[in-house]
Structure 1
Amino acid sequence: MARLTPVVIGVGDMINRSRKVEDAIEPLELILQSIEIAIKDTNVPKAAEARLRSAIDSLDMVRTWTWPYEDLPGSIAKAVNITPRHTFYSQHSGKEVARLCDAAARRISFGESKAAIVTGGEALASLAACAAAKKLPPPGWTKLDQKVDSVFSPTETELKSKAGTLASKYSIGAPIQVYPLYENAFRAHRGQSIQENQKESAQLYAEFAQVAKTNPLAWNYGTAESEETIGTVTKRNRMICFPYPLLMNAFNTVNLAGACLLTSAELAKELGIPADRWIYLLGGAGTQDSPDFWERPNFYSSPSISLALDVGLEASGLKKEDVDFYDFYSCFPIVPKLAAHHLQLPITKSPKPITLLGGLTSFGGAGNNYSMHAITETVRKLRRGDGTYGVVLANGGVVTYEQVLCFSSQPRKHGPYPDKNPLPSIIPAIPAPTVVVDAEGEAVVETYTVDFSREGTPIRGHIIGRLKSNNHRFLAHHGSSSTLLQLSSWVREPIGRSGWVWNESTSGRNLFTFETGEKL
């Protein structure tokens, strides 16, 4: 059988801006509305709409943070009146949207599926409003067997998943902590000062905010934070983990859903769907680094980002020069920085867009589903003729999981859709420093971050260091008040500085100080 040509024929997004308890709409309903918008977006002739719906035999759902449904795919299929042979509910990860679209395109290419929906949604703003009003569960939402008495916290989930590991021992592993480890290391690797780096991050996110300001689907539509506001630590823009204040962190309390409808060009033509609605999927690639961040080769690069970009473009028959625009996942500034740096694009004032939405701070961090909206916006831009090739980089975990997906207004130039992910699911072992549990002796700071209280006070310094005696890596907490203050400094670079590490018998944790003999 000849291979078929996968195309996106419809996209839909739904936003509920109200934070009133009485206006709370659950994710299931927002998702259903986005699917109906996507079906309408195909411009399928009315006489063929029933046939299109009956052809939908694949339903992939991005796991929602908001509500622990018993069977969300089943509920969606019943409400849309489809009987998919393939259904899937993903794990928690921001890269799943792109991976699911890639997999759906592959099934369509092989004729294993006629038409496919990939969708997801969140109602975290509504849920937070209900929690604040002490009205959980929200009235009218799908009833659950289990009790819901709090709003989902990805930070707590990340830490619980690391229970029993070094991350748990040192209370580090949440995204708000690990991404700063990379930002600090990337800064030092490039020879930037701390203040130069902070200015760059603020400028980057101010540019992103301007993009979100013009997007009607953005949570911050119509408004944009300035570079000065983003980069200045204040009571409103309090420090979370050094060097990121609040406005450099993902903002997750949004109500957003999105859907993507795929089929083959051959069936789209049969159904009478206008060719100007077709956007071709060219290919993609995805992989992951070690799930244990302390076992990675360094903290100033991401092998998974670099490989996903390079191999995703290659699998799609593209060179980076061909690409007209990108949407780089941007939960924190470091992710678009690493991607842009690898592709040799300027981090700020890039001649090619590196965000279409405005990032998870200004557009809104729609749980695991942010990159769905990047895909829908890519489709709209290509339909408008704003370029020929667009690329989405979806990221998950703590710079862990990466998936690239390439789109075009033109079909692939060479051969059918790739018959598999060209990358292994996990990058083969890359040489990394030996990690020691109990460290003792003179050492050097490899990277670090500092946890801050809600009042803006530094409360814990996290150090990843190297022993001078054998270059082995260790994790440690600050071992003196002076060291904690030095790690919080905006003037003097801690990375590369020498100090001393020892293992405290009481807690079993390593402690690090810059001054010998000065301990807590």
Structure 2
Amino acid sequence: MAGPTLRETPVVIGIGDVKNRSPHASDAREPADLMLQAIQVALADAAASASKPTTTPAGLQAAIDSVDIVRNWTWPYSDLPSLLCEKLGLRDADVKHKFESEHSGDKPAKLFDGAARRVAKGECMLAVVTGAEALASLSAFAAAKKLPPPGWTTPDRSVESVFSPTTRSLRDGIGANHSVGAPIHVYPMYENGFRAHRHQSIEDNWNESAQMYAEYAKIAERNPHAWNYGKPAEAAQSIGTVSKKNRMICFPYPLLMNAFNSVNLSAACVLTSASHARELGIPEDRWIYPLGGAGTQDHIDFWERPNFYSSPAISRSLDAALEASGLDKDQVDLFDFYSCFPIVPKIACQHFNLPVLHPPKPITLLGGLTSFGGAGNNYSMHAITAMIRALRASPNKSARISGLVLANGGNLTYQFAVCFSTKPRMTPDGAAYPEKNPLPPKITDVRVPRVDAHAEGEAVLETYTVEFGRDGSPLRAYVVGRLKSNGHRFVANHGDSSTLQHLISKEVEPIGRSGWVRVDEEDKRKNLFSFEGARL
């Protein structure tokens, strides 16, 4: 039985991006203050075109009754939604919804979808979604041994340290036993698996990633909101050449194929209903319509997934978002696929049958987390503001122009996609916005090989990566393999130096090769894999 028709059409009326590029400590701003600035920029954007003189940024600010915040990496707050509302001059009694997300890069799209739904249901009148990072300033203060930074909000002492995607604790069990599970490990594993699945040579795959990120860098070079705006874009040759400045992190990704997180960036969106936007005198050619969103997640443990060349969560989130929005992929004119590492947009492009190099439609509006800046969990908020900006700029005001933003989080774990258009939603249900996220919270209906914590015997390598030290030497291999005897999966480290060297070579594809796995005699929690059985 169909749910009730949502009575209001949500529209985006204001967007704001803030970048604090100043290197001076006196100019450093904490995330809460950057969010406040971005919201005020967005409110000014909404009021700028209004035909009614009573529609002012101050008046809109006072009318905010819904606040969603993407959790930041920079600074631990005890109650950031209340703090931000206080900075906005809002009374608790007037704010119907206050929320701060958990950590994950899918949250900007997920929170935006929720805000659009509340507007559609009439549960709020003026919704704000925002997020910020000040990691560049924090790093500068840390280097000067000035923590906490003077003037910043007293940190939440219950949080032991600020969040980091590379230093957070590994999950107990198989991952921690093998020192594997950080994003810098898992995304390269998928890149290697994706390459082998496509029968692509290691060299061709490497060059493809370098060229794709060079194309991204040119986009960021021209984007005034990008951290690297105005700087000469890195060329494919420099991105793909390992050097002291571009050291290898985890094979096959050198530094310039990893997200760059030391930025001070914030973004905000303001949503309201079409009827209220009319009352405010905001012209319709400034409205952008959210059409629908969808998201789900793959298993949190990468070894409990069906393969290492696809993401069911990405595929289903993309398809469900399109269906919820009444679109097919050919009706989407602009994409922004999350791009912390090259593999994410590659998987999305493969799903939509788009080339990753010189695509006929944009697959990033920002320029990626390396060149635009990896704004913590908040990167895709900037993708949403960029999408709104691009759709508004369409020269054909009578045409329906549509876009899709894919936000990704975790280790290719959490996905959420949202669609936008210059025209309102047109779907058979007649609703102004989808009643709910059409996907379940987690994907549980895919077949996954049995995983053995301890493995012995002849095996085939399924995927891998190698982590490097700051001096450029290989430290440790992380291997996922399958036992030949029963097809069970295992996780292992390298068993000898020869295997480690084979895994960093560009000459021979190691995936699909046979080897041997055994339990480490010195640390029986670990498995060791070797290509040379005699060494075992």
Q: TM class, shorter-chain normalised?
A: over 0.9
Distance in structure 2 (CA, Å) of the matches to 1:147 and 1:446: 41
Q: Is the 8 A contact 2:6 2:435 kept in 1?
A: no
- Residue in 1 aligned with 2:476? 460
SS at match of 1:294: helix
Q: Is the 8 A contact 1:137 1:148 kept in 2?
A: no
Instruction: Work out which of the residue numbers 43, 52, 59 in structure 1 matches 2:60.
Output: 52
Q: Deviations over 1:432-472 (max 9, x none)?
A: 11000110110000000001000110010111000001111
Instruction: Work out which of the residue numbers 407, 427, 448 in structure 2 matches 1:394.
Output: 407
Q: Are 1:479 and 2:495 an aligned pair?
A: yes
Letter in 2 for 1:512: F
Q: Which stretch shifts more, 182-191 or 420-429?
A: 420-429
Q: Are 1:497 and 2:505 an aligned pair?
A: no
Distance in structure 2 (CA, Å) of the matches to 1:98 and 1:145: 26
Per-residue deviation at 1:23? 2.1
Distance in structure 1 (CA, Å) of the matches to 2:517 and 2:269: 52
For the aligned residue pairs, the C-alpha RMSD in angstroms reads 1.4
Letter in 1 for 2:356: I
- Residue in 2 aligned with 1:103? 114
Per-residue deviation at 1:148? 8.5
Q: Is the 8 A contact 1:128 1:151 kept in 2?
A: no
Alignment of 1:436-455 (within 5 A): 436-455=452-471
Distance in structure 2 (CA, Å) of the matches to 1:498 and 1:20: 55
Distance in structure 2 (CA, Å) of the matches to 1:150 and 1:395: 24
Per-residue deviation at 1:143? 2.0
Q: Are 1:133 and 2:144 an aligned pair?
A: yes
- Residue in 2 aligned with 1:316? 325
Per-residue deviation at 1:151? 5.5
- Residue in 2 aligned with 1:517? 534
Q: Which runs of 5+ in 1 are unaligned?
A: none
SS at match of 2:210: helix
Aligned CA distance change for structure 1 residues 2 and 23 (closer, same or farther; 3 Å): closer
Q: Deviations over 1:350-373 (max 9, x none)?
A: 000000000000000000000000
Distance in structure 2 (CA, Å) of the matches to 1:412 and 1:146: 46
Per-residue deviation at 1:27? 0.9
- Residue in 1 aligned with 2:228? 220
Instruction: Work out which of the residue numbers 400, 405, 408 in structure 1 matches 2:421.
Output: 408
Q: Is the 8 A contact 2:458 2:484 kept in 1?
A: yes
Distance in structure 1 (CA, Å) of the matches to 2:415 and 2:12: 21
SS at match of 2:65: strand
Distance in structure 2 (CA, Å) of the matches to 1:51 and 1:218: 30
Alignment of 1:267-346 (within 5 A): 267-346=276-355
Instruction: Work out which of the residue numbers 177, 181, 195 in structure 2 matches 1:173.
Output: 181
- Residue in 1 aligned with 2:22? 18
Letter in 2 for 1:26: E
Q: Are 1:68 and 2:68 an aligned pair?
A: no
Distance in structure 2 (CA, Å) of the matches to 1:150 and 1:98: 26
Q: Is the 8 A contact 2:15 2:43 kept in 1?
A: yes
- Residue in 2 aligned with 1:41? 45
Per-residue deviation at 1:147? 8.8
Distance in structure 2 (CA, Å) of the matches to 1:399 and 1:148: 26
Letter in 1 for 2:198: R
- Residue in 2 aligned with 1:246? 255
Distance in structure 2 (CA, Å) of the matches to 1:319 and 1:56: 34
Per-residue deviation at 1:149? 8.9
Distance in structure 2 (CA, Å) of the matches to 1:329 and 1:342: 14
Q: Is the 8 A contact 1:325 1:354 kept in 2?
A: yes
SS at match of 1:42: helix
Percent identity between the two aligned chains:
61
Distance in structure 1 (CA, Å) of the matches to 2:520 and 2:101: 41
Q: Are 1:32 and 2:41 an aligned pair?
A: no
Q: Deviations over 1:59-91 (max 9, x none)?
A: 000001101011111111111122311100100
Letter in 1 for 2:406: L
- Residue in 2 aligned with 1:352? 361
Q: Deviations over 1:315-365 (max 9, x none)?
A: 100010001110000000000000001100001110000000000000000
Distance in structure 2 (CA, Å) of the matches to 1:484 and 1:85: 56
Instruction: Work out which of the residue numbers 196, 200, 216 in structure 2 matches 1:192.
Output: 200
Distance in structure 1 (CA, Å) of the matches to 2:25 and 2:161: 15
Distance in structure 2 (CA, Å) of the matches to 1:367 and 1:99: 15
Instruction: Work out which of the residue numbers 153, 162, 165 in structure 1 matches 2:164.
Output: 153
Distance in structure 2 (CA, Å) of the matches to 1:264 and 1:195: 51
| TM value normalised by structure 1 | 0.97
Q: Which stretch shifts more, 141-150 or 414-423?
A: 141-150
Instruction: Work out which of the residue numbers 110, 114, 131 in structure 2 matches 1:120.
Output: 131
Q: Which stretch shifts more, 16-25 or 320-329?
A: 16-25
Distance in structure 2 (CA, Å) of the matches to 1:499 and 1:205: 34
Q: Is the 8 A contact 1:308 1:403 kept in 2?
A: yes
Q: Deviations over 1:21-80 (max 9, x none)?
A: 232111111111100000010124441335533432110000011010111111111111
Distance in structure 2 (CA, Å) of the matches to 1:436 and 1:29: 49
Per-residue deviation at 1:146? 2.2
- Residue in 2 aligned with 1:79? 87
- Residue in 1 aligned with 2:240? 231
Alignment of 1:195-210 (within 5 A): 195-210=203-218
Distance in structure 1 (CA, Å) of the matches to 2:12 and 2:308: 37
Q: Deviations over 1:141-164 (max 9, x none)?
A: 11235298965321222x34x1x2
Distance in structure 1 (CA, Å) of the matches to 2:297 and 2:77: 28
SS at match of 1:206: helix
Q: Deviations over 1:117-164 (max 9, x none)?
A: 00000000000011111111111111235298965321222x34x1x2
Distance in structure 2 (CA, Å) of the matches to 1:412 and 1:379: 16
Distance in structure 2 (CA, Å) of the matches to 1:254 and 1:485: 35
Distance in structure 1 (CA, Å) of the matches to 2:160 and 2:512: 45
Distance in structure 2 (CA, Å) of the matches to 1:231 and 1:246: 10
Aligned CA distance change for structure 1 residues 149 and 284 (closer, same or farther; 3 Å): closer
| TM value normalised by structure 2 | 0.94
Distance in structure 1 (CA, Å) of the matches to 2:11 and 2:162: 37
Q: Is the 8 A contact 2:77 2:156 kept in 1?
A: no
Q: Which runs of 5+ in 2 are unaligned?
A: none
Q: Deviations over 1:351-410 (max 9, x none)?
A: 000000000000000000000000001001111116710100000000000000000010
